């Protein structure tokens, strides 16, 4: 489909045109996987038409507080509560944490809290 822009259904005789775009994401080093023979180079070049590299959250400290605010406002609204803001102390904790779970960890509120130790997330 990616190359020919068409396909046949299994057992079908009629060619079906398809105009598709694939959006793919990974947290792996694909070039290294190709070198190891664990990822097909032809598939890599078919998928790698427009590459967007987003550094991990720990390397984008300037994004942490705006994202936390957005998530907390959404969370508060979904529960019919008013959000009053992030304290300076909480902001400091958020900014000093290393965020191994990246944006997903921030969104799911599994980051550092005073009442528990930060957990390790498995991927």
Residues recorded for the chain: 123
Measured distance CA(106)–CA(118) in Å, rounded: 12
**Which tokens in the block code for residue 27?**
């947290």
Domains of the chain (ranges; CATH) run 6-47 (no CATH), 57-107 (1.10.8.60)
Phi, psi angle pair for 80, to nearest 5° = 70, 30
Query: b/e map of 47-86 (b: 16 or more CB within 10 Å)?
Result: beeeeeeeeebeeeeeebeeebeeebeeeeeeeeeeeeee
pLDDT digits (tens, 9 = 90+) for 95-111: 999 999 899 999 986 44
Measured distance CA(18)–CA(6) in Å, rounded: 5
pLDDT digits (tens, 9 = 90+) for 52-89: 888 999 999 999 999 999 999 998 999 899 888 999 99
Phi, psi angle pair for 6, to nearest 5° = -160, 165
pTM of this structure: 0.62
């Amino acid at each position: 489909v990616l190359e020919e822009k068409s396909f046949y259904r299994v057992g079908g005789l009629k060619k079906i045109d398809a105009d598709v775009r694939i959006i793919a994401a990974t947290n792996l080093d694909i070039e290294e996987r190709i070198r190891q023979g664990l990822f097909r180079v032809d598939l890599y070049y078919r998928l790698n038409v427009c590459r967007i590299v987003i550094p991990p959250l720990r390397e984008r400290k300037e994004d942490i507080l705006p994202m936390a605010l957005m998530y907390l406002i959404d969370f508060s609204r979904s529960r019919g509560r008013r959000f009053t803001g992030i304290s300076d102390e909480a902001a400091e904790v958020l900014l000093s944490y290393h965020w191994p779970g990246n944006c997903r960890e921030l969104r799911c509120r599994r980051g550092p809290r005073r009442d528990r130790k930060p957990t390790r997330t498995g991927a």
